[in-house]
Chains A and B, each alone.
Chain A
Amino acid sequence: MNIQCNGENRTVDAGATLMDLVTAMDLEPKTMVAEVNGTIIEHSAFGERTLKEGDRVELIRFVGGG
């Protein structure tokens, strides 16, 4: 199944959740937030959000800034 993650095409297993995606990329969910097709998903809900073909996922976190 194909999705877009941070602007890049990615393949995930059918039925995979947002948590599966994040874990597969070795990211710490607690310090990040996601947007799926423009809707904010808090990290506590990553496990409940099943990904669908064509989903546009943005994985976002804090960086240095003034």
Chain B
Amino acid sequence: MSGVAEMLTISDTQFPSRLFVGTGKFASSGLMRKAIEASGAQMVTVALRRIDLDNPDDDIMQALDRDKIHFLPNTSGARNADEAVRLARLARAAGNTNWLKLEVTPDPRTLLPDPVDTLKATEQLVREGFIVLPYMNADPILALRLQDAGAAAVMPLGSPIGTNQGIQTAMQVEIIIEQARVPVVVDAGIGAPSHAALAMEMGADAVLVNTAIAVAGDPVRMARAFKAAVEAGREAFEAGLGAASKTASASSPETGLPEANLDFIVS
């Protein structure tokens, strides 16, 4: 044991921070930039959309320093594999990167990922040379299938996107972590630093947080709180947590008590 935190590696790239941050829903680009800086995150997700021709100055790329930040375009908005592949190709052309967070969400109400089309799109995009990180439901079998298809990491959800409901899928996420040969990034639903710490204590390799930081009263301080939580959770995992039990186990010595009546202590 070196006592030094292990570095996260995805597809031969090392990331000092295990906190990934999304860039949606921030009140301004300035606030987003400060929050990302405070979070310490290197991996930052972005989406791809038509340029708003009535507001052409609103360019997120001007607010992000690509020398410091590893760009992870997503395919949000894709409802099936074909749409996801199209967005992926556009993202590669626009961003000059082959990294991709694959999202296929046919149902706008739940934004839950389509497992069949996510697998199909992963197979296709891996063939095209993309480094694919698929957003997926917390299904251990699907995680193995995506890994076998060449996914560089898997991104199981804690709860649906933007719900702040935390890790509702803990049992399945634990199995995914236990079985995975690729990094496991818990994505979606992480609403509080404690949720992020829990995922990290479980042995997740990283977490992705967007809404919880972006819509906080003070996004910069919340980003700092998530940074501390992710570091604490990871440190605890690497340190090795004690086993849980139903009955007590005294922390203080159970022998060597003084002979006399101890009433005076409580009186």
A33 to B91, CA, bound (A): 8
A32 to chain B, nearest CB (A): 6
Q: Beta-carbon contacts of B24-64 to A below 8 Å, as 1s and 0s?
A: 11100000100000000000011111110100101111100
Interface residues of A in 36-66 (CB under 8 A from B): 40, 42-43, 58-66
Bound complex: CA of A12 vs CA of B49, how far in Å? Answer: 23
B32, B47, B211: the one contacting A62 at CB < 8 Å is: B47
Closest residue on chain B to residue A61 by CB atoms: B51
One of B23, B94, B208 near A32 (C-beta < 8 A) = B94
* Chain B residues close to A by CB (< 8 Å): 22-26, 32, 45-51, 53, 56, 58-62, 73-74, 76, 89-91, 93-95, 161-162, 188, 208, 210-211
A66 and B161 contact, CB distance less than 8 A:
yes
* B94→A65 contact, CB < 8 A: no
Give A8's nearest chain B residue, CB to CB: B53
Main secondary structure of the interface of A (DSSP, over half): strand
Choose one: A6, A58, A66; the contact of B22 (CB below 8 Å): A66
Partner of B25, one of A31, A62, A64: A64
Q: Contacts A26-B56, A27-B51, A59-B51 known; A65 to B24 CB distance under 8 Å? A: yes
**Known A6-B53, A66-B76; contact A35-B60, beta-carbon cutoff 8 A:** no
Q: How many residues of A contact B (CB 8 A)?
A: 24
How distant is the Cα of A33 from the Cα of B89 in the complex, in angstroms? 10
Q: Which of B45, B51, B74, B162 contacts A60 (CB 8 A)?
A: B51
- CB distance A65 to B46 under 8 Å? yes
Residue on A with the closest CB to B61? A31
Chain A nearest CB from B254 CB (Å) reads 51
List chain B residues, Cβ under 8 A from A61: 48-49, 51, 59-61, 94
Residues of B within 8 A of A59 (CB): 50-51, 53
Measured CA separation A28–B89 after assembly (Å): 20
Across the interface, do A64 and B90 meet the contact criterion of CB distance under 8 Å? no
A-B CB contact pairs (8 Å), 15 listed: A5-B53, A6-B53, A28-B62, A31-B61, A32-B94, A33-B93, A40-B90, A59-B53, A60-B51, A61-B60, A62-B91, A64-B26, A65-B22, A66-B74, A66-B76
Contact A31 B59 (CB under 8 A): yes
Contacting pair B23 A64 (CB below 8 A):
yes
Asked if B56 and A42 sit within 8 Å, CB to CB, the answer is no
Q: Known pairs A62-B48, A63-B58, A64-B46. 16 more at Cβ < 8 A? A: A5-B53, A25-B53, A27-B51, A35-B90, A58-B50, A60-B50, A60-B51, A61-B51, A61-B59, A62-B95, A63-B46, A65-B74, A65-B210, A66-B47, A66-B162, A66-B188
CB-based nearest B residue for A58: B50
**Chain A residue with Cβ nearest B46:** A62
Measured between alpha carbons, how far is A59 from B49 in the docked complex, in Å? 8
Cα distance, A7 to B61, chains bound together (Å): 23
Bound-complex Cα distance A61 to B87 (A): 11
Which residues of chain A are near B89, meaning CB under 8 Å? Answer: 40
